Structure 1
Amino acid sequence: MQDTEIHPALAQIMNEHRARMLLVIGNKNYSSWSMRPWVLMKAFGIPFEEIRILLGQPDTTSRIAEYSTAGKVPVLVANDITVWDSLAICEFLADQFSILNLWPEDVAARAHARSICAEMHAGFSSLRFDMPMNIRASLPGKGRTLGAQADIGRICEIWEDCFSRYGATEYLFGSFSIADAYFAPVVMRFRTYGVSLAPALQAYADRIAIHPAVLQWMREANAETETMAWHDARSEK
């Protein structure tokens, strides 16, 4: 399922359980953590309502606290269940809507996909700090610290390994999955900072960038007018 139509079985599940999904996110231009579950839900046609809370504002903390005491976005509210943290949200959705195969079906591939998402979730701190997501910007060559360059190299290694191991031609594990949604913000960074990739990896990044869910996120990010001074200052170094 790779478009925004609602899967018939999913529609039945949502109706039977009277499921109401509310996804709380930050600015689309800057919030890479928010992008992951948003893109995933759009890609698989999981209906949800969106609450966008502007980051870096005087009322940001208090507004997020209305949904989660963790104080960060994204947050998913599913009826009386609250899930915070982007990876936990993706896992929750995979459990709730197993019919959609948000993770790869093959056991080994699924374990691999979970591993690279966990690695992305916990690591790559230099890339995050030195090349923060800023979709509206065009800053080729900026942020290329030794740490960021090492992180880029590791990401390329991960992608190459996936394509080599599973013989996928479009996405990391064949069909679009949580893994591709998880690396979508990386693709946004590579575009902003003009990161050169090997042809096969560039082709993958280009496919992610034209996925309908990613395109919608990018359009809405480009339509935003709010700015974050710290984020923009970091981007330009």
Structure 2
Amino acid sequence: MQKAQLTISSKTYSAWSLRGWLLCKLAGLDFVEVPVENDASNRAELLLLSPSVLVPRLTHEEASVWDTLAIAEYLNECFPEAGMMPENRIARAHCRSVSGEIHSGFTNLRSALPMNLKIVHESFPVFSGARPDIERIETIWHECLSKYGGPFLFGKKPTVADAMYAPVATRFITYAVGVSPESAAYCRTIADWAPMKEWIAAAKAEPEELEELDVEF
């Protein structure tokens, strides 16, 4: 049987690719990466289509799944023993809700602070329109960490929600966003998560000639 494949784009800039990849890692899926050509014109064309059009795309046992939340649900269905979602029904509902919120919202944050894993600013002027997004994300994190005890959003083990918010944590680090000590600690938890270390190392090894995009996808 053919090994599962995950189609992804730039590891430096593509937050959606990172989410899909982390979900596969959470599931314990044995898969191969299929990178999209990283020339700027091709990546820009994908941007014009949609953040979710085929990037990331999971191909597994004749199924093709290309929306990030659909990938999460598909993998959770295939690998229930992986614990991608909390065991408790109420916590699962909470996890799905906050994951859906990051999937469909926070457009000002996305445009003002695009993911870039090659640099870390000592300071960065944050567009005022992105502040409500930052505040809402911190509220979500605080509620989850307080209710479930951390260090991940739903307790001791990472879940789908952590995969969905991981690119946000990298943004807060990249742009030195002023956040609460609790949020900063969560960002460090994500940065120290073994799959994230693997992804970031690969991002830093990508060719320097890749053109940074103004909008993430």
| Alignment partner of 2:10 out of 27, 30, 50 | 27
The residue aligned with 2:192 is: 210
1:98-109 to 2 correspondences below 5 Å? 98-109=80-91
CA contact (8 A) 1:43 1:212 kept: no
1:164 aligns with 2:156: no
Question: How many residues were matched structurally?
Answer: 209
CA contact (8 A) 2:27 2:79 kept: no
Deviation at 1:143, TM superposition (A): 5.2
The residue aligned with 1:147 is: 129
CA contact (8 A) 1:131 1:142 kept: no
1:90-101 to 2 correspondences below 5 Å? 90-101=72-83
CA distance in structure 1 between the partners assigned to 2:172 and 2:187 by the alignment: 8
1:20-59 to 2 correspondences below 5 Å? 20-55=3-38, 57-59=40-42
- Percent identity over the alignment? 37
The TM-score with structure 1 as length reference comes to 0.81
Structure with bigger RCO (C-alpha 8 Å, 6+ apart): 2
Range with bigger deviation, 23-32 or 129-138: 129-138
The residue aligned with 1:12 is: none
5+ long unaligned stretches in structure 1: 1-17, 64-69
1:120 aligns with 2:95: no
Deviation at 1:148, TM superposition (A): 1.1
CA contact (8 A) 2:190 2:196 kept: yes
> Would the alpha carbon gap of residues 173 and 229 (structure 1) be closer, same or farther in structure 2, given more than 3 Å must change?
closer
Secondary structure of the residue aligned to 1:27 is: coil
CA distance in structure 1 between the partners assigned to 2:39 and 2:55 by the alignment: 12
Which protein is bigger by CA-based radius of gyration?
A: 1
5+ long unaligned stretches in structure 2: 47-51
Counterpart amino acid of 1:211?
Answer: W
Counterpart amino acid of 2:84?
Answer: L
Counterpart amino acid of 1:33?
Answer: W
The residue aligned with 2:171 is: 189
Secondary structure of the residue aligned to 1:82 is: strand
